[in-house]
Amino acid sequence: MPAEFYYGVEVFLNGLMAGVMYSLVALGFVLIFKASGIFNYAQGIMALFAAMTLVGFQEGQIPFAHLINAVFGTEVHHFGWTMPTFLAILFALGMMLLFAFLVERLILKHLVNQEPIILFMATIGLAYFMEGFGDLMWGSNVKRLDVGIPQGGNFWIEENTAFLGGEEFYGFYLDTLDIYATVIAVVLVISLVLFSQYTKTGRALRAVADDHQAALSVGISLRGIWVIVWAIAGFVALVAGIMWGAKSGVQFSLSLIALKALPVLMLGGFTSIPGAIVGGLIIGVGEKMFEFLIGAPLLGGATENWFAYMLALMFLVFRPQGLFGEKIIERV
Amino acid sequence: MLYREVGEFKTSYTADQQTFPISFDKIAYFIALAIAFFVVPLIINDYWAKAILLPFLIFGIAAIGLNILTGYCGQVSLGSGGFMAVGAYACYKFMTAFPDLNLIICIVLSGGVTAMVGILFGLPSLRIKGFYLAVATLAAQFFLVWLFNKVGWFYNYTATGQINAPEREFLGIIISGPNSSPEAVYLVCLSFLTVLALIARNLTRGSFGRKWMAIRDMDIAAEIIGVNPLMAKLTAFGVSSFYVGISGALLFSVFLGAVEVGEVFGIQKSFLVLFMIIIGGLGSIFGSLAGAAFLVLMPVVLKNVMVGSMGWPVDIAAHFEFLIVGSLIVFFLIVEPHGFAMLWRIIKEKLRLWPFPH
Amino acid sequence: MLDSPQTDEKLLDVNNIEVIYNHVILVLKGVSLSVPKGGITALLGGNGAGKTTTLKAISNLLHSERGEVTKGTILYRGNPVADLNPAALVKSGVIQVMEGRHCFEHLTVEENLLTGSYTRSVSRGDIARDLDLVYTYFPRLKERRKSQAGYTSGGEQQMCAIGRALMSRPETVLLDEPSMGLAPQLVEEIFGIVKALNEKEGVSFLLAEQNTNVALRFAHYGYILESGRVVMDGPAAELRENPDVKEFYLGMSDEGRKSFRDVRSYRRRKRWLS
Amino acid sequence: TFPNLTYRTGPYAVNGIPYADGYADYMALLNSRDGGIGGEKINYIECETQYNTEKGVECYENTKGEGSLVYQPMSTGITYQLIPKATADGIPLLTMGYGRTSAANGKVFSHIFNYPANYWVGASAVINHILSLNNGNIKGKKIALVYHNSAYGKEPIRTLQELEKKHGFKLSLLPVDHPGQEQKSQWLQIRREKPDYVTMWGWGVMNPTAIQEAANIRFPMENFIGVWWSGSEGDVLPAGNGANGYKSLAMHNTGSDFPIYADLKKHVYDKGLAAGDGTSSGQVLYNRGLYAAMLATEAARLAQKMSGKANISPADMRDAMEAFSINEAQMASLGLPNFAPSFSVSCENHGGPGLAAIQQWDAKAKKWTMISDFIKTDAEVINALIAEDSAAYAAENKIKERCG
Amino acid sequence: MSRKTASLDSRDSYVTADGRTIGPAVMEMQNITLRFGGVVAIQDISFDIREGEIRAIIGPNGAGKSSMLNVINGFYHPQEGHVIYKGEVRKPLKPYEIAHQGIARTFQNIALFKGMSTLDNIMTGRLTHMKTGMLAQALWWGKAQKEEVENRAFVEQIVDFLEIQSIRKVPVGRLPYGLQKRVELGRALAAQPSLLLLDEPMAGMNVEEKEDMSRFILDVNEEFGTTIALIEHDMSVVMDLADRVVVMDYGRKIGDGTPDEVRSNQAVIDAYLGVSHD
Ligand SMILES: Nc1ncnc2c1ncn2[C@@H]1O[C@H](COP(=O)(O)OP(=O)(O)OP(=O)(O)O)[C@@H](O)[C@H]1O
Ligand SMILES: Nc1ncnc2c1ncn2[C@@H]1O[C@H](COP(=O)(O)OP(=O)(O)OP(=O)(O)O)[C@@H](O)[C@H]1O
Ligand SMILES: [Mg+2]
Ligand SMILES: [Mg+2]
């Protein structure tokens, strides 16, 4: 086999890994969509906010320090302690729970039974709010996030595959962080599938997504459902935030990974948890392979962004509800 | 009874179909238009033009365009940024390839080009619906931006891919380039907006508008009563892209003058225009304008208040700006999910009853 | 109904309520009614009289339609329902079957039924038994149990909605036009079920119906609503004999029922209030 | 009046904050220590652009009425916007190390100044550095350019292509789309092609991601050279130890070992006048803010001298910038000895000396250190390109050359 | 097999007792079978609809009545069988093409356009008659305006006819159920169809409203000569209005004939009527 082939395989493998990273973000979208029919534009910002909070707790940052200093002319920045990662994660989770609670209280509660696009708009408002709020609380400078997951090419794999492909090939490159991400994603997906498919709450989630009013009328408490779902989505956002934050620091751009999750979402189907994973894998592999085979050599590169969407679009033309999405009911 | 319609009887269907059936409204609109055309140009300065009025007028056009597609025809699109880019680059190509062609014609032609591109990207809408379609239009957004960034022909092979609007005159007055006066560019944009808003109004009250709305409200039923869904959707995509293209062309040629595609026509623009119509009111021309005004004006006002009047540090002010705009969006949605247009209608209904509660 | 289990205890007491939609549209203009424990109470009236609105006001679903109760009180067992959210209301035993079916289209028929038992914390066995019971009431549902509710016929959806409400083991059921779209045989059956539940299990019903004929046959007491006001009320038997009711709601005149073909010349509706 | 178009929020806030802090602190220092410039108090205005073109225009229009002397938009996109406008309004623009490179040709761009360095100088400096590492012969070497897929990132391409012809190396181009968090493809390609050197024109989150990926594939960091916008603390810190040895261009010295910091502490920080929270002080971009402010205020000082008025106009400012020169003695007296090269500007040359240095990151010490002097760049190649590009601009906009 | 198969008398016309002319068959369904996965909604059903008659389709819930209407107007395509319309075997057309052939309908679960006013909803029914191009409409030129006014005048007639003047400008979403049904009828009438399909037009109405509705249906049938196919569960309405009745059960046809014939058909009584009515 020529080295080119193995490089192709390497790109393929890395595509899978990148796909998993997208899936982590897409999962959050799916959860909320499934449970309330809301397309949550704020998911990206939630990931950023969760990561910021985590770092903030870890490093003992004083929240709103900048504002406090500006108002009172003080110079406070840090509490002066650093928190163990585990504890910080717990606190960050608590924060996301509180967040879910407030979202329900202040926004969703008032928008029961509205059309999806209006709920979508509300999440946009939420995203704006969080963007300002997060920066105000933790500052908009770049932060290093370290929860102890190793990063960088995995030596073991690299060395043990170097014999393939002769001189020109030096073993498969796989990022250790991505391998961790894969494991975490698989665990997450399995548990979420179990939750939504086999519990009473899971069924209630799907009922709420279909018809708010009817759900209310049979006694499903929208409030409870929403708090649960947003809290889980917050947790997923935290996981995504940690993985992506470890890659390139915690800063505003972290929220833009949402854009990479959208094609995954539409390919897998907005309502399917396994879809998020499968969609991620297809998108990851598709865009990386396209860039490798066609994009970089023939089109001058940087094709990944649009190709991901085009790929998803092609799938949709054949399955308008995505690969695993619930069939769109068309009846009169 | 501050606001009255009592005592107005329509004696013909033509009269009943007017744009402003209530004469109070009509007078108010004419006064507003007269002020916009005759008074504002006298007092306008660079800041008002560039910071507030031009963005408002130009995004107003884009918002009307998107509202035709999303508000009237129910096809959510996140490709507006890309379509604006098509308008801008088409305009640039027309301006540089035919230096003698009048800029106004260039702009209209750019709208036409964009309409074509819009129709092309509208084809999947026959099968793909709702949020799936919204995300699918992102494919257009990313692809178009990539294309204009990549293919040298579009930017005449300049070193960095920026495009610059050369100076052009209309009726002897400079309307593009750095030497154009604020009142000239303002009037150009205002005229475009006025004409386009009227056309939009005409289209939406006629049979095309009804076809679109029927598709929006229930596409299957619409098809069964005789609406060809493909035609209805494609015409909506076409008309909408025409508007969006014109606004892109205006944004480039008379407002910014120099444009880099990724920065000016990025995904943020698509979202911005969508926000405008949702906040303003889906399916309402007035709402498009109200939404555009809100999202253009709000940040400027907030900034001026917080930084200018209260002397806050700019970064805190910027964070608060997001915070406040976000809260206001949510607040307005809770007060009236159907946007400013609906809010306005309810206020009118209340005024009609006033001072009696019901 | 001589064997009626109806008692004098007022379960539900609606007191002079006013409902406004969207802050401007006044729909109910002072409606009062009460549902006794163990009774079947019918709410009659033409299109747009406000029956649905009344039921929604009781079950606290108006919020989601941008409507609100601006005057008056609604008490369930003496407690104002305004304090309870719809879920709590279901827990305390009041459930509504909404007009226009409102099934969860993407869920299967069986899953739809199961959501009805959401508020109950009982064993799976109990729920399975209730499910079987609903299937014996509506055998058609059993056949279609695995199909998505969105793809079932109108009548099947109606059965599904009613079955779903029964799954919550309610104490009071607010039924909004249960007969709509059902075959005549089934209408009889449904009212039979209502009657059976009422008699055997003491479930109380508030029943909004257009099918006056059947409704008055099964109900103990009736209210007639027009343009947001109660214009007449009385025991069902009396209402059935009332000449106005006979003419306008039962379609009978002195000569008996007229053929629909013969009501060519237009009859001006008599309004009690207008 | 000195307006400063900052971006403390949005995707590029990371880079915008330290720069804005430095700029603001320098202005605060002059006001608090000297009472302004030549007795005239500085009116310092910040305006937040979020790196967004329309907001930049809004800021420009908002502040230009207040007698703004010079604009430094810190964004190539906004610069392109403002070039024709500022020229028409008669307000000078100083775009140090960014913006439109060919604006160095003062004959065409009367109001635009991009001293002390520009992208093409930068590109050439990178190649010169590589040349010096290879004893002047890089024939057949492979060099990859990883760039932000925008006007900014594309700036060095022409120059590198010219130099490629001249020196016989092989250039490959790897664009990265905004925002640049996902660069697997690019770095796998680098891993396959094994270029000898990688250079980078990045901004925002693209920088730390690239450095992290380079570390991940164990690319030798000392062969990875970024432009001056890819060489600040925020870019290397997230990669931790992996970033050790990474190089970047510099147009001024690094660190806080300058007398001016004592003054800053005394007159600004301790009085609570600091713009930031203190973490940015001494960072590369903070120093760049200081430098930018210094160049602007020194030009203003010169303008006061030339016009004889304390309260100068933008036109005076422009004339002074065209006659501007700065040398080591001046800088030392400002508390910035050995900070940046001396140079002077002329009517023809708005671009300064064309010098750039190399700095390297020491991950243990968490410090940038200068590892070269300010080296001369390939003026021959660059000037030809500048002449060509500015001629095209002049033709397109019907501008007659000046200085003749 | 374009013109054959219909039994001889389906081509003949006759005159009913109350003086209406019932023409030859306009629509013939031949051996229609429709399946959804495992569910057989319609099984080998044939019947015809004659010009000018009121044809009722009845049957228990889930029998396949609505599906039958969906086959007639092209929303479902049967796996087997033919639809013969005006003497020709109909090719598989899109629903909107069939609408242009003059078939209009109302829906069981009201399918009005919720965001539009009553008037606009009825105007959408006229779409098949409105032809001006986009440019003319954009400028509201003479022709566009003229067409609009003419059609509007027609629609106003329907509004008057249905007595819904007072809700002309009200968004239909706010209307009570019964009125929505009436608006839907208006929308279908606006198309001036030659064949009108009504799916449970009287569900959710009280007697008085049913009387009104019956009157509308009869008037349409008599004055415009419109052929009507009607699904309804209220037997008294069906028996009074219909000329002929098809009875379906579990997708099969179990009866077909005049109301009296059907009423006395034992299979029908067992499956549907339960006890014989009135
Ligand atoms: N969401 C709403 N917004 C505005 N008005 C409404 C709304 N819902 C109902 N209405 C109005 O309230 C009045 C009463 O409606 P309601 O649905 O309660 O009548 P109903 O008696 O149930 O009639 P039907 O028998 O047709 O179901 C109607 O005139 C209707 O127009
Ligand atoms: N699109 C579809 N997919 C799957 N099953 C369907 C579909 N449409 C109809 N059915 C099934 O076909 C059968 C007939 O449905 P149809 O709606 O025609 O009944 P109907 O006679 O109109 O009953 P009703 O009186 O209750 O409205 C039902 O069992 C229904 O579930
Ligand atoms: Mg009702
Ligand atoms: Mg049916």
DSSP string for residues in C82-127: GGS-HHHHHHTTEEEE-TT----TTSBHHHHHHHTTTT----HHHH
CB contacts of B346 in chain C (<8 Å) are 22-24
Average pLDDT over residues D187-199: 89
- Kindly report, residue by residue over B153-192, the tens digit of the pLDDT: 998 887 777 888 888 888 878 887 777 888 888 999 999 9
- Whether residue E98 sits in one domain with residue E148: no
Tokens in use for B76? 């959510």
Tokens in use for B90? 């088409």
- Kindly report, residue by residue over A296-326, the tens digit of the pLDDT: 788 877 888 889 999 999 899 888 888 888 8
Residue B12's pLDDT is 63
Taking the centre of ligand 1 as the mean of its atom positions, its distance from the CA of residue E182, in whole angstroms, is 15
Domain holding E61, by residue range, is: 1-102+193-278
- Whether residue E204 sits in one domain with residue E80: yes
Answer whether E149 contacts ligand 2 (Cβ < 6 A).
no
Contact B350 C26 (CB under 8 A): no
Q: Tokens 């939750």 appear where?
A: A195
Residue B73's pLDDT is 92
Residue C210's pLDDT is 84
Taking the centre of ligand 4 as the mean of its atom positions, its distance from the CA of residue E226, in whole angstroms, is 22
Residue B17's pLDDT is 62
- Whether residue E268 sits in one domain with residue E203: yes
Q: How many residues does chain D have?
A: 404
Contact A214 C168 (CB under 8 A): no
List the single residue in B164, B263, B315 with the smallest CB-CB distance to D9: B315
Q: Is the dihedral of CA A153, A155, A159, A161 positive or negative?
A: negative
- Kindly report, residue by residue over D93-140, the tens digit of the pLDDT: 888 888 888 888 888 888 899 888 888 888 999 999 999 888 888 888
Rounded to whole angstroms, the Cα distance separating C210 from D305 reads 95
CA angle, residues E136, E137, E143, in degrees to nearest 5: 60
Q: Mapping DSSP to helix (H, G, I), strand (E, B) and coil, where does residue B169 land?
A: strand
Taking the centre of ligand 4 as the mean of its atom positions, its distance from the CA of residue E66, in whole angstroms, is 4
Taking the centre of ligand 3 as the mean of its atom positions, its distance from the CA of residue C54, in whole angstroms, is 9
| DSSP per-residue string spanning chain E | --S-SS-GGGG--EE-TTSPEE-SEEEEEEEEEEEETTEEEEEEEEEEEETT-EEEEE-STTSSHHHHHHHHTTSS--SEEEEEETTEEPP---HHHHHHTTEEE--SS----TTSBHHHHHHHHGGGG----HHHHHHT-HHHHHHHHHHHHHHHHHHHHHT-GGGTTSBGGGS-HHHHHHHHHHHHHHT--SEEEEESTTTT--HHHHHHHHHHHHHHHHHS--EEEEE-S-HHHHHHH-SEEEEEETTEEEEEE-HHHHHT-HHHIIIIISSPP-
- Whether residue E135 sits in one domain with residue E81: no
CB contacts of E62 in chain A (<8 Å) are none
Residue B21's pLDDT is 62
List the single residue in C20, C22, C26 with the smallest CB-CB distance to B346: C22
| Average of per-residue pLDDT values in chain E | 85
Cα D308 to its chain centre, rounded Å, is 31
C61 and C94 in contact (C-beta within 8 Å)?
Answer: no
Distances (CA, A) of A267 to A261, A311, B152, B331, D179: 10, 8, 32, 33, 23
Contact A129 B278 (CB under 8 A): no
Could you give the percent of chain D with pLDDT greater than 90? 18
- Whether residue E177 sits in one domain with residue E208: no
Rounded to whole angstroms, the Cα distance separating B18 from B154 reads 43
- Whether residue E181 sits in one domain with residue E95: no
Distances (CA, A) of D189 to A10, A157, A295, B30, C160: 11, 19, 12, 63, 59
Could you give the percent of chain B with pLDDT greater than 90? 37
Residue B355's pLDDT is 58
Question: Count of H helices and E strands in chain C?
Answer: 10, 12
Answer whether E178 contacts ligand 1 (Cβ < 6 A).
yes
Taking the centre of ligand 4 as the mean of its atom positions, its distance from the CA of residue D160, in whole angstroms, is 73
Beta-bridge partner residues of C20? C26, C68
CATH topology of domain A3-318: ABC transporter involved in vitamin B12 uptake, BtuC (1.10.3470)
Nearest 10 degrees: Cα torsion E60, E63, E67, E71: -110
**How many interface pairs between B and C have CB atoms less than 8 angstroms apart?**
10
What ipTM did this prediction achieve?
0.89
Answer whether C152 contacts ligand 2 (Cβ < 6 A).
yes
CB contacts of D182 in chain A (<8 Å) are 18, 260, 304
Residue B292's pLDDT is 93
Q: Which residue does chain A place closest to E108, by CA atoms? A: A332
Contact A173 D188 (CB under 8 A): yes
Higher per-residue pLDDT: A253 or D320 = D320
- The CATH number assigned to the domain holding E228 equals 3.40.50.300
Chain B neighbours (≥3 Cβ pairs under 8 A) are A, C, D, E
- Kindly report, residue by residue over E124-180, the tens digit of the pLDDT: 998 888 887 888 778 777 777 888 888 888 888 888 888 888 888 888 888 888 888
Answer whether E39 contacts ligand 2 (Cβ < 6 A).
yes
Q: Which residue does chain B place closest to E146, by CA atoms? A: B14
Residue A98's pLDDT is 94
Q: Mapping DSSP to helix (H, G, I), strand (E, B) and coil, where does residue A121 land?
A: helix
Answer whether E92 contacts ligand 1 (Cβ < 6 A).
no
Contact E134 B214 (CB under 8 A): no
* Distance from the B132 Cα atom to the nearest Cα atom in chain A, whole angstroms: 6
Answer whether C53 contacts ligand 1 (Cβ < 6 A).
yes
Residues 70-129 of A with CB under 8 A from C: 112-113
- Kindly report, residue by residue over C94-148, the tens digit of the pLDDT: 999 988 778 898 889 999 999 988 888 888 888 899 999 999 988 888 988 888 8
Q: Which atom of ligand 1 is nearest to the CA of C65?
A: 1
Residue E10's pLDDT is 63
CA angle, residues B156, B160, B164, in degrees to nearest 5: 55
Single-letter amino acid code for the residue at A99: F
- Kindly report, residue by residue over A102-132, the tens digit of the pLDDT: 999 899 888 888 888 888 889 989 999 998 9
Q: At which of E186, E221, E239 does a domain end? A: E186
- B151: contact with A, CB 8 A cutoff: no
Rounded to whole angstroms, the Cα distance separating B81 from B92 reads 16
- Decide: residue B116, CB within 10 A, 0-12 exposed, 13-18 middle, 19+ buried: middle
| DSSP per-residue string spanning D238-267 | GGGGGGTT-EEEESS--SS-SHHHHHIIII
Contact C20 B358 (CB under 8 A): yes
- B272: contact with A, CB 8 A cutoff: no
- D155: contact with B, CB 8 A cutoff: yes
**Which of E36, E71, E231, when mutated, tests ligand 2's pocket best, judged by the most ligand atoms within 8 Å of its CB?**
E36
| Average of per-residue pLDDT values in chain A | 86
Q: Which atom of ligand 1 is nearest to the CA of C45?
A: 21
- Whether residue E114 sits in one domain with residue E25: no
For helices A85-106 and A222-248, the axis angle rounded to 10 degrees is: 140
CB contacts of D105 in chain B (<8 Å) are none
CB contacts of B350 in chain C (<8 Å) are 23-24
The stretches in chain C having pLDDT less than 50 are 1-2, 268-274
Rounded to whole angstroms, the Cα distance separating B338 from E89 reads 48
Contact C26 B353 (CB under 8 A): no
Residue B251's pLDDT is 93
pTM of the model: 0.91
Residue C264's pLDDT is 54
Answer whether C210 contacts ligand 1 (Cβ < 6 A).
yes
Q: At which of E186, E202, E235 does a domain end? A: E186
Residue E7's pLDDT is 44
Answer whether E121 contacts ligand 2 (Cβ < 6 A).
no
CB contacts of C20 in chain B (<8 Å) are 358
Q: At which of E186, E214, E234 does a domain end? A: E186
The stretches in chain B having pLDDT less than 50 are 1-2
In B17-79, alpha helices (H): 23-34, 40-43, 46-47, 54-66
- Whether residue E96 sits in one domain with residue E134: no
Q: Which residue ranges make up each domain of chain A?
A: 3-318
Beta-bridge partner residues of D200? D146, D226
Radius of gyration of chain C (CA): 19
Residue B5's pLDDT is 52
Residue A93's pLDDT is 93
Rounded to whole angstroms, the Cα distance separating B135 from A266 reads 7
Look at chain E and report how many structural domains it folds into.
2
- Whether residue E151 sits in one domain with residue E207: no
Residue D1 has pLDDT above 80, yes or no: no
The stretches in chain E having pLDDT less than 70 are 1-11, 17-19, 274-278
